[in-house]
Amino acid sequence: MKFIIRFLKDWTLPIAIVTGTIFYKFFSLFAPITPYLIFCMLLVTFCKLSPRKIRLSRMHIWLVTIQIIGCIIVYLSLYKFNPLIAQGAMICILAPTATSAPVITGILGGNMASITTYTLIINLIIALLSPVIFSFVGPHSGLFFLDSFLQIGRKVGPILILPLFVAWGMQLFTPRIHKKILSFHLFSFYLWAFALMIVMGKTVSFLINQKNPDIGTELLIALASLIICILQFIVGRKIGNKYHKTIAGGQSLMQKNTILAIWMAQVFLNPISSIGPASYVVWQNTVNSWQLWKRRKLKESEIYEKTIQE
């Protein structure tokens, strides 16, 4: 039984991707509940964060600046070439840090407090800025700014901001419920897997049901997401290195909440652009797997050297 549980944990990502892709007709039916799943996952994450532990640093300011300005520059640079590629690339930069990023950072030996703080900060900033950005990009660009801002804000705000207030409210007024939610960390993990199946199913369903598919554009969107993933990883680590938080910097900028990004692309942009964050799922987890492999090899080497010395 323990072997099965461990196997499922180790292979949850590929299992979720393959299952959502094969049974896309079934999982795409659950697309309307995606916002609620994102809300629940963020709620569990924010329950782990105490307001007293939040420490804003210069590194965080640099990362936020690069993320916001970067997504705008990339979009404007690619828009004339191809609007769909521009949207797919932009959302891969704009998406906030993944709720699982602190866990990976901790395993890699990085500063968990720093990346947890950044996860909170960037979620709040994206909640405020994404309605502005989406008002000028995608289907809502034809509406008056205030109308589009309010329409998008009503959908994004409750998902990204409300979980924080609910989590901190429970810490103050219902500590027993708060403690109970903290014990649901495994439930949150499987909730994430289910949400991944849904967004992958929705993406595949849309691609298969296209009337005039443009394979070339779709491959370029996937390629753009790969380049962006690598660049964010490198730039994040370089910034983090200046503040002696190399791992936290790299994970903060590179590891994205891809489920949220796919949902945003499908709702607020051209759905084809969701290929960007859908591909990003594979790229970022490939980078994470490589890092974890290197970390494991380093530990094995250290143990071996210690054994020889003794």
Q: What is the pLDDT of residues 23-63, one digit of tens each?
A: 999 999 998 998 888 888 888 878 877 777 778 889 999 99
Percentage of residues in the chain having pLDDT higher than 70: 88
Structural domain boundaries in the chain: 2-309
CB neighbours of 248 closer than 8 A, spacing ≥ 6? 59, 105, 110, 111, 112, 114, 115, 118, 240
Given a contact cutoff of 8 angstroms between Cβ atoms, the answer to whether 49 and 203 are in contact is no
Q: What is the dihedral of CA 240, 277, 163, 236, to 10 degrees?
A: 0
Which one is predicted more confidently, 91 or 6? 91
On whether the 2-309 domain is CATH 3.30.559.10, my answer is no
CA–CA dist 245, 110 (Å, integer)? 7
pLDDT band at 117 (very low <50, low <70, confident <90, very high): confident
pLDDT band at 140 (very low <50, low <70, confident <90, very high): low
Given a contact cutoff of 8 angstroms between Cβ atoms, the answer to whether 119 and 163 are in contact is no
Look up the pTM and report it.
Answer: 0.83
Q: What is the pLDDT of residue 63?
A: 96
Average pLDDT over residues 276-300: 84
CA 93 from centre of chain: 10
Flag whether pLDDT at 151 surpasses 60: yes
Mean pLDDT of the chain: 84
Question: Hunting for tokens 């103050």 — which residue is that?
Answer: 172
Strands (DSSP E) along the chain, which ranges? none
Tokens representing 47 are 């329950």
Mean pLDDT lowest for which of 21-35, 75-89, 136-150, 186-200? 136-150
Average pLDDT over residues 57-72: 94
Query: Which of 89-98, 104-113, 292-301 has the highest mean predicted lDDT (pLDDT)?
Result: 89-98
CA–CA dist 275, 220 (Å, integer)? 10
Task: State which amino acid sits at residue 301.
Answer: S
CA–CA dist 111, 214 (Å, integer)? 43
Which one is predicted more confidently, 1 or 211? 211
Tokens representing 126 are 């994206």
Q: What is the pLDDT of residue 293?
A: 83
Which residue, 6, 34, 46, is CA-closest to 181?
46
Which residue, 182, 187, 130, is CA-closest to 161?
130
pLDDT band at 150 (very low <50, low <70, confident <90, very high): confident
Mean pLDDT lowest for which of 4-13, 60-69, 156-165, 272-281? 4-13
Average pLDDT over residues 250-273: 90
Average pLDDT over residues 130-142: 77
Q: What is the pLDDT of residue 191?
A: 81
Question: Hunting for tokens 């989406």 — which residue is that?
Answer: 134
Average pLDDT over residues 158-168: 85
Average pLDDT over residues 146-150: 69
CA–CA dist 200, 31 (Å, integer)? 10
Average pLDDT over residues 8-37: 84
CA–CA dist 231, 253 (Å, integer)? 9
Q: What is the pLDDT of residue 124?
A: 86
Q: What is the pLDDT of residue 182?
A: 79
Percentage of residues in the chain having pLDDT higher than 90: 32
Which one is predicted more confidently, 260 or 55? 260
Q: What is the pLDDT of residue 47?
A: 83
- What are the two backbone dihedrals, phi and then psi, of residue 54, each rounded to the nearest 5 degrees? -75, 120
Q: Residue 97 forms beta bridges with which residues?
A: 256
